[in-house]
């Protein structure tokens, strides 16, 4: 799948955004890229999907170097998709149906197949109600679902989510996490960036920590989050499940459900 080898990226104004990045997205199916503001997460995503070309180093897709010609990138788009933080960035049409169909039509797929695929995705994401609505009338959360529908319609094997929960209310947040889980259960891979460490802790199986354009730590999510030094260096908050584990001397639970089901003795009950 996707890997980078000594990847460096500088913006045109000379800003060094990524330094010697070596990551391997085979490490998990729910990979997190975390770091403070300006750490380089979005820049890394854009390099991984071939939107930006590294100044030095490589991005490998299925062990082949990404080439930046139209043909290669067109094929890459069939396999690798992205849901941007700002849904407006990837909404091209004023009508929801046409917007979801955009990527498929762009690949030259015939209109009957486009209709079957788009209807299937609309049904899957439960967005029939705004199928014929102008996109500019939709809320932020609804636009985000349209953006996801466009990527899912292409049946991409790898989907990047840049800050998927930003601006979503609690119900839409659950909805988004459920959608992402079902994408993974469907055999696909999700790569996610977020400032919400509780979400990253529960969702991701493997994480990379970025700080000032460099990977400063990586590994199984729970193990990395136990390393306070890493969190402090990268300005990341300790997830609440890690805090209660340390403070109350209870097991390190993987998620909220495990915590609420816990029947064991807490250290403070011994007093």
Residue selected from 38, 88, 228, 268 as contacting ligand ATP according to rule CB under 6 A: 38
**Residue pair 3/60 in contact by the 8 Å Cβ criterion:** yes
Q: Which helix (H) or strand (E) holds 226?
A: none
The contact pattern for ligand ATP, residues 40-79, with x = CB under 6 A and - = no contact, is xxxx------------------------------------
Residue selected from 7, 17, 25, 231 as contacting ligand ATP according to rule CB under 6 A: 17
Of 101 and 200, which has the nearer Cβ to ligand ATP? Answer: 200
DSSP state of 164: T
Extract the runs of DSSP E, i.e. beta strands, from the chain.
2-10, 16-21, 30-34, 56-61, 64-65, 80-83, 158-162, 189-193, 206-211, 214-220
Q: Quick check: 81 binds ligand ATP (CB under 6 A)?
A: no
Q: Quick check: 164 binds ligand ATP (CB under 6 A)?
A: no
Beta-bridge mates of residue 200: none
Number of H helices, E strands in the chain: 11, 10
Give Cα 186 to chain centroid, integer Å: 16
Of 12 and 112, which has the nearer Cβ to ligand ATP? Answer: 12
Size of the site for ligand ATP (CB under 6 A): 12
Q: Quick check: 35 binds ligand ATP (CB under 6 A)?
A: yes
Residue selected from 6, 11, 137, 169 as contacting ligand ATP according to rule CB under 6 A: 11
Residue with tokens 């609440």: 240
Of 166 and 244, which has the nearer Cβ to ligand ATP? Answer: 166
Task: Give the span between the Cα atoms of 10 and 188, in whole angstroms.
Answer: 31
Of 40 and 81, which has the nearer Cβ to ligand ATP? Answer: 40
Report, in Å, the least distance between residue 81 CB and ligand ATP: 18
Report, in Å, the least distance between residue 24 CB and ligand ATP: 20
> Measured between alpha carbons, how far apart are the two ends of the chain, in Å?
52
Residues found near ligand ATP in the complex (CB under 6 A): 11, 13, 15, 17, 35, 37-43
């Amino acid at each position: 799948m996707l890997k980078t080898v000594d990847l460096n990226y500088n913006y045109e104004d000379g800003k060094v955004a990524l330094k010697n990045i070596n990551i391997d997205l085979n490490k998990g199916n729910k990979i997190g890229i975390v770091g403070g503001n300006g750490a380089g997460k979005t820049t890394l995503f854009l390099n991984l999907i071939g939107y930006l070309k590294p100044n030095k180093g490589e991005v490998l897709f299925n062990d082949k170097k990404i080439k930046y010609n139209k043909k290669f990138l067109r094929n890459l788009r069939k396999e690798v998709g992205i849901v941007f933080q700002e849904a407006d960035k990837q909404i091209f049409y004023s009508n929801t149906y046409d917007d979801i169909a955009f990527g498929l039509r762009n690949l030259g797929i015939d209109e009957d197949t486009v209709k079957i695929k788009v209807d299937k995705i609309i049904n899957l994401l439960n967005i029939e109600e705004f199928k014929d609505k102008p996109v500019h009338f939709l809320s932020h959360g609804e636009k985000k679902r349209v953006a996801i529908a466009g990527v899912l319609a292409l049946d991409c094997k790898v989907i990047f989510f840049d800050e998927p929960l930003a601006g979503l209310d609690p119900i839409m947040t659950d909805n988004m996490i459920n959608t992402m889980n079902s994408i993974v259960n469907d055999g696909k891979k999700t790569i996610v960036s977020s400032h919400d460490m509780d979400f990253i802790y529960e969702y991701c199986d493997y994480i990379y920590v970025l700080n000032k354009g460099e990977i400063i730590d990586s590994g199984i999510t729970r193990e990395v989050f136990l390393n306070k030094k890493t969190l402090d260096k990268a300005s990341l908050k300790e997830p609440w499940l890690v805090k209660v584990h340390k403070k109350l001397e209870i097991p390190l639970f993987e998620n909220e459900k495990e915590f609420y089901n816990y029947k064991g003795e807490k250290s403070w009950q011994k007093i």
